[in-house]
Amino acid sequence: MAAARRLLASGLASVLALALTTAPAYAATRRTPTAKPTPAVQVRKAPTILPPQIYQLTPLKVNPTVQPNIMILGQYMTPATTAHVGGRPATTVQVPDANHLLVKLPDNLSQGTYLVEVTNEAGTVTASDPLVVDESPGPSNMMYLMGGGFLLLLVLVMRLARTPSIA
């Protein structure tokens, strides 16, 4: 019991000493209120616009008849930012923020690889990866559904063939 009292007394003494040493430091840093200074005329600087940067094109391989839009991920995109695909202007669909630019590809792009350029008020930059336009159609959704239906039918037939009570 005596040890608990000593521990409690030393803890209270530590807290008291800490409180007494921080109070003068707080009082020394406190400012006394003075008269308000007259506001000076502030000149706002226009925000500096930096040239755009391109980090990624999504998707890199596209079929324009199926998916006519690409997303450009980067920095310093503004509403005035434009894009060119293979030297032809692309239509800006949306600039949701300074890091994304959604563009519609130019009409009648033939199969091949194209450089993508992005331009804003401060300059132009070219993407490091080219955009690949591939017009070869992949399997359609109907083909996937037919394959899945055939697989389901095959599983049902195999299941019924193994059931002895149906015979």
Could you report the per-residue pLDDT of 23-41, keeping only the tens digit for each?
555 555 556 556 565 666 6
Instruction: Report whether 61 contacts 135 (CB < 8 A).
Output: no
Percent of the chain topping pLDDT 70: 70
Has residue 49 got a pLDDT over 70? yes
Assign domain 53-133 to its CATH superfamily.
Immunoglobulins (2.60.40.10)
pLDDT in tens, 121-159: 989 999 999 999 987 666 778 888 899 999 999 898 888
* Domain residue ranges of the chain, discontinuous segments joined by +: 53-133
Say what the pTM is. 0.55
Phi, psi of 89 (to 5 degrees): -70, 135
User: Rounded to whole angstroms, how far apart are CA atoms 1 and 7?
Assistant: 10
User: Rounded to whole angstroms, how far apart are CA atoms 116 and 114?
Assistant: 6
Has residue 85 got a pLDDT over 60? yes
Residue 64's contacts (CB-CB under 8 Å, 6 or more residues apart) are: 105, 109, 133, 135
**pLDDT for res 141:** 82
**pLDDT for res 26:** 52
